[in-house]
Amino acid sequence: MKPVKFGIGQAVRRVEDQRLVSGHGHYTADDIPEGALRAVFLRSSYANAKFTIRDLQAAKAMPGVKAVYTAEDFKEFADLPCLAPMQNTDGTKMSLPPYPLLARGEVRHVGDAIALVVAETAEQARLAVEAIEIDYQGGAVVVDMKKAIAAGAPLVWPQFDSNVAVDTSMGDKSAVEAIFAKAEHVVELEVVNNRLVSNYMEPRAAIASFDAATKRYTFTLGTQGVHNQRGLIATVMKIDPKDLHVITRDVGGGFGTKGFVFREYPLLLSAAKRLGQTIAWVSDRTEHFMADAQGRDNVTVAAMALDRSGRFLAMKVDILGNMGAYLSQFAPYIPWLGATMATGVYDIPALHARMRAVFTHTVPVDAYRGAGRPEAAYVLERLVDLCASRLKMPREEIRARNFIKPSQMPFKTSTGRTYDVGEFEAIMRHSLSKADYAGFATRRDEAKSKGMLRGIGFSSYIECTAWGSNEEGSVRLEDDGTFTVLIGTQSNGQGHETAYAQVVAQHLDVSVDQVRVVQGDSDRVLTGNGTGGSRSIPVGAVMVDRASTKLVQKLKELASDKLEAAVADLEIVDGHVRIAGTDRAMSYGEIAKLPAATPDKRIAMDEFMPPEATYPNGTHVAEVEVDPQTGVAQVVSYSICDDFGMTLNPLLLAGQVHGGVAQGIGQALLERTVYSDDGQLLTASFMDYSMPRAIDIPSFRFETRNVPSTTNPLGLKGAGEAGSIASCPAVMNALVDALREFGVEHIDMPATPPKVFAAIHAKQA
């Protein structure tokens, strides 16, 4: 059999790109039918206040207005649930306040939803929103976590005795304290993981309708998986999931945030049923800042105990995680998930981690690209660099001394993770070599001659991906000889249409443009667990691989009678089933027309349940130049060596890594969500919230040094979040290295010019 041109491992250009870059993408707002009603939400301008709606009649009487709804109109619905309830260390339950669809007489953050207006046009709805008169009685506000946990702090939820939603832990505290008491060295560091706003290209939008004849809802929106949306929305609305058809077309970015069910969704569906008309809602960018779950926002104190030779003995971690005003879907789980990866690629025999989830009068926080793992890697790699500095050891040598060795695999960490494979030192050495780490002194001197400071830094990371839920679906031969994949993951720009088609092409020897991938339709695709945690390819591609293998066997069986040959004598070549060693063959189109080719004979279904997470890892090396006169820091060089187990498509892989690194650079140097003391969101638009631009991102040197995963049948490890995990510590380690001559040991993200300038001149003073 000749090599497959378009199969696994090939650098195939994305088949979806022609459609997307030529303006033929099909996003939610493109589906709004003519005559659809438009919805607009009234949102609070107060961060904490009791309120009374003085009058709705004026708004209801305005031109074009069809309805004005408040919390009283949706009393039959459940609140939005938190799907990750945790237990306190003492075994008691966490504080679980309600998350109402509309505020019930009290708002708890700027942007909290109070009312829904439906009108013939969006402009009419906005005018009606402005006509609603509300009396606010403002209360005390707390937005800072440290202030929120202090005695006497204003309570976000007065029914609880503190703003700590949960105080949980892992590890043996007394054993770790005993190790610290005897350690030769103890190094401690406090770091801030700054709050981020997802800022995908396509703000959220939704279209809701109800068919009175079938008694079914149809809901079109951008998601990271229609089945998860359907199940949770149905739970909130107390309806049978079968009565809700969820559709997702193209999606302009997700980053975790589009995986959640937001309060707008059941409200729009209910309003569509009540009014008997289709309703559309399109969020604007400022509404996105005030209403969509935000990311990160941790303050962590970490400490390492070391022996005289620089070996790590034990680690302590104390995490404060900002939940915002309400508990979003997975929010309390995110700091805990990060803590399970706290020891990273190092053999740290003992760890104790404390995690406190804290309420504040801010927008709720939930999973954002990496979900806890970037936070953990940042803490660890900043701490390891500080350990090297305090012990006067080379940064690469303290890492090499403490890396888990290949001979120790499989390795169970002190947090209970089991790594199956990993060659951490080899990857670090290779990455440093490619970055010309040894020649950095020359580049530093050249920069200094121009009045610039130059630093180099790196991070060695590991993350867990593709764990937990299964994925099932099918591959089907169509009448015209093409193939259709039905799968319950959801592309948000990753290139699933190409990646899954390559797997089919590997087995059926066809071009990727002969394979159609169907996602995002809860009627056509019966099950699915969506996209998140870098699971789509490591889980979904295995399912497609298995189904394709089954389909090959079925097609050979169908062709064997017509070709008068045994199945064992048949092979797949050039889109045909052929008798080996002859020119007698049948095309897939011909097979599809055989009388015996019934629908069940032309489809193969399978599933894959990952037995354990996969553990991608690598080392990223960054170089940063700083202008000491202005404090401006610029990433001028970036080298990457990652282990993703097996590469399905090098182009798609590089794109995922590049995008993640760009987001990490944004977090490290630019992005900053700022609330005033009275809870006003001061960075509620791109005028105030700084996003990375092309000028902020260097060219990347990227390569892989793959060690196939033993827990994944194709050897795959997830790749979608890796860039965002490794980049922040690499960039910040480089920045601190550039400032080392001023005695700067640490600077928090984002390292904005004023902050860098102040750090330099504080030391000079």
Q: Would you say residue 462 has pLDDT above 70? A: yes
Average pLDDT in the chain = 97
Chain centre to alpha carbon of residue 283: 20
Is the omega angle on the peptide bond into residue 410 within 30 degrees of 0, that is, cis?
yes
HEC per residue, 189-231: EEEEEEEECCCCCCCCEEEEEEECCCCEEEEEECCCCHHHHHH
| pLDDT score for 5 | 62
**In contact, 76 and 319? CB cutoff 8 Å:** no
Q: Would you say residue 1 has pLDDT above 50? A: no
Cα–Cα distance for residue pair 496/492, rounded to 1 Å: 9
Q: Which helix (H) or strand (E) holds 41?
A: strand 37-43
**In contact, 517 and 487? CB cutoff 8 Å:** yes
How sure is the predictor about 765, in pLDDT bands with cuts at 50, 70 and 90?
Answer: low
| pLDDT score for 423 | 98
Which tokens in the block code for residue 360?
């504040």
Model pTM above 0.95: yes
> Which residues have a Cβ under 8 Å from the Cβ of 101 and sit 6 or more positions away?
71, 74, 77, 79, 80, 113, 236, 263, 266, 267
In this predicted model, what pLDDT tens digit does every residue of 286-299 receive, in sequence order? Answer: 999 999 999 999 99
pLDDT (mean) for 700-724: 98
Q: Would you say residue 4 has pLDDT above 60? A: no
Q: Would you say residue 150 has pLDDT above 50? A: yes
In this predicted model, what pLDDT tens digit does every residue of 15-42 receive, in sequence order? Answer: 999 999 999 999 999 999 999 999 999 9
| pLDDT score for 454 | 98
**In contact, 293 and 365? CB cutoff 8 Å:** yes
pLDDT (mean) for 726-748: 97
Q: Would you say residue 267 has pLDDT above 60? A: yes
pLDDT (mean) for 675-695: 97
Proportion of the chain above pLDDT 90, given as a percent: 98
Q: Indicate the domain borders of the chain.
A: 17-26+468-608, 32-139+199-291
**In contact, 494 and 536? CB cutoff 8 Å:** yes
| pLDDT score for 363 | 98
| pLDDT score for 762 | 87
| pLDDT score for 287 | 98
In this predicted model, what pLDDT tens digit does every residue of 84-120 receive, in sequence order? Answer: 999 999 999 999 999 999 999 999 999 999 999 999 9
How sure is the predictor about 404, in pLDDT bands with cuts at 50, 70 and 90?
Answer: very high
**In contact, 372 and 338? CB cutoff 8 Å:** yes
Q: Which residue has the tokens 């506000």?
A: 141
* CATH number of the domain located at residue range(s) 32-139+199-291 in this protein: 3.90.1170.50
pLDDT (mean) for 508-525: 97
| pLDDT score for 419 | 98
Which tokens in the block code for residue 481?
């000889």
* CATH number of the domain located at residue range(s) 17-26+468-608 in this protein: 3.30.365.10
Nearest to 536 by CA among 293, 726, 341, 717: 717
| pLDDT score for 6 | 84
